[in-house]
A and B are shown apart, each in its own frame.
Chain A
């Protein structure tokens, strides 16, 4: 998952993007601690007029997630679903 906020200093809600960044960092730390992988959540800053940059960040995120593979939660759910089907 990635969060996109306005450029720092340009937030319509003044500090909203700073607060969001802190929360994303916190989420990443916790995901690391429980073995899910903190890199699965990131924050980017850009303005609403920067379409190509948005596309670049999207591609970056997709490639990162592909490299990391499915989340352990998804894999566990798939294994449990297979077991349930087999039973």
Chain B
């Protein structure tokens, strides 16, 4: 899922300084799971903003709403009849949701309330780690389910490089060498013959390096 972190409160306060009627808009999906932008976080942020401005003697209208998602038209449409009541929206959705909301409601500023960090997994309570960089051409079948694109600092496809030491990456002793993990996994799976196969040159045109991506499904379009 998409992992995000709450923006520092000082930054959000500065973003909304000039607006009197604000809607704090949460999202019930990824940002809820990583505890950055769900209903609970909306309530807390709205309350903090009210207290902050009230303590300065400034009364602002700060309302709360959480949509199922902010990356689908149907859910964003739910606020169409109320959006004009606000001077600005703080969206706690990931970058996708903020942008989609901004595109839909072009005359209302939509401000980000979180920093979108990565695609990752919830390894432990309070710990989310990156697993995928959406390169568009998945090689996980050849690497025992461990991604050399997101987890190798050099994105080497026939690793390891010469910098790995004791199973750790040369960039930090706290970072596992992805290729060590891959080899360990292929050994456990009894598939070391896959390691011997030289991976072909990767098609990076499907990666972000090839420009913003689009997925079109003709079988789904009406």
Contacts and interface: CB of A to CB of B under 8 A. Distances in A.
Interface of A: 30-31, 33-36, 71-73, 75-77, 79-80
23 contacts: A30-B9, A30-B44, A30-B48, A31-B51, A33-B9, A33-B10, A34-B13, A34-B51, A34-B55, A36-B51, A36-B55, A71-B55, A72-B55, A73-B51, A73-B54, A73-B55, A76-B54, A76-B56, A76-B57, A77-B54, A79-B57, A80-B57, A80-B59
Given A34-B52, A35-B52, A35-B55, 14 more contacts: A30-B9, A30-B48, A33-B9, A33-B10, A34-B9, A34-B51, A34-B55, A36-B51, A36-B55, A72-B55, A73-B54, A76-B57, A77-B54, A80-B57
Task: Give the top 3 A-B pairs by smallest Cβ distance, nearest first.
Answer: A72-B55, A34-B52, A76-B57
Please classify the interface of chain A as helix (H, G, I), strand (E, B), loop, or mixed, using the class held by over half of its residues. Answer: helix
A82 to B, nearest CB: 11
Contacts of A80: 57, 59
Interface string B167-201: 00000000000000000000000000000000000
